[in-house]
A = this chain, B = another copy of it.
């Protein structure tokens, strides 16, 4: 299928619209982003590439990185992982204390903050140099050495991350954190600080379209079964409290971040990344949601 035309047309349509979204402002590094940035990149399993706009500019992928840390932890820990967290959508904001208290310190899934923090705790238990090993893993998946944590973003997150501290202490109170709290939060805030371009992001997630393997390198990132399960988790839990809406409108598993990025995969076909910093009230990129809805409708792409 030729994706160039729909990408081109939809991109140009959306470029012009009056975007009602708001850029995330809780840290200066996000607040300072040029709000009209807009990029898209699609990569197919057979190495075709389609780009528009600011697709080669780095941005903060934020929560999107939670899929990558989950992949790394799942690979090492296997299904023991699910003794520490669930796979159910949360039906609540991504940083809710209420739900975590109700569930006795067991996060509903690895895509909300509490779950991603437990994933970091697990990584620390497995790794000698967790921070270095995690970024190394991500570089390998991406086939790209030029992927980095942003110290400035990580520092900012740490300064304003009181709610995440509240989450981790509540889990500690329930016995669901095993390592030093400062160390776990440091890894978590670094995870959230990773920067990629749309091109890099689409390329990185290709293994989830490829049943766990990277098609270019034939490297096996994770098993077929685990790859499908990560897609299932993205589909049910990847878009904050808008997972249902995203599934309903696009039919693809995907993950978003407050930096305005969204990545989605059509298994056996492609991975696509969109970036536009203005967020809708649920915290997902307004234009990103719009683009993916129109694109999947026009191309009749859907897992359903």
Contacts and interface: CB of A to CB of B under 8 A. Distances in A.
Interface in A86-111: 86-92, 96-102, 108-109
Contacts of A170: 97, 162-163, 166
Contacts of A304: 227-229, 231-232, 235, 253, 267, 303
A162 B96 CA distance: 17
A236 interface: yes
A9 to B, nearest CB: 19
Interface in A282-304: 297, 300, 302-304
A74 to B, nearest CB: 11
A137 interface: no
Contacts of A251: 228-229, 231-232
Interface in A126-169: 162-163, 165-167, 169
A300 B224 contact: yes
A243 B244 CA distance: 12
Contact of A173 (B92, B166, B245): B166
Contact of A243 (B236, B302, B303): B236
Interface in A209-250: 224-225, 227-229, 231-233, 235-237, 241-245, 247-248
A303 B267 contact: yes
Contacts of A303: 267, 303-304
Count identical subunits in the complex: 4
B163 A169 contact: yes
Secondary structure of the A contact surface, majority rule: helix
A172 interface: yes
Interface residues of A, number: 51
Nearest to A267: B304
Interface string A240-284: 011111011001010000000000000100000000000000000
A109 B108 CA distance: 19
Nearest to A98: B98
Given A232-B251, A304-B232, A304-B267, A109 B244 contact: yes
A111 B231 CA distance: 22
A245 B87 contact: yes
18 contacts: A86-B244, A88-B244, A89-B243, A91-B99, A162-B169, A163-B169, A166-B166, A166-B167, A166-B172, A169-B169, A224-B300, A229-B251, A231-B251, A235-B235, A235-B236, A236-B247, A253-B304, A303-B303
Given A91-B91, A233-B248, 10 more contacts: A88-B245, A89-B91, A89-B244, A91-B92, A98-B102, A163-B170, A169-B169, A232-B247, A233-B247, A267-B303
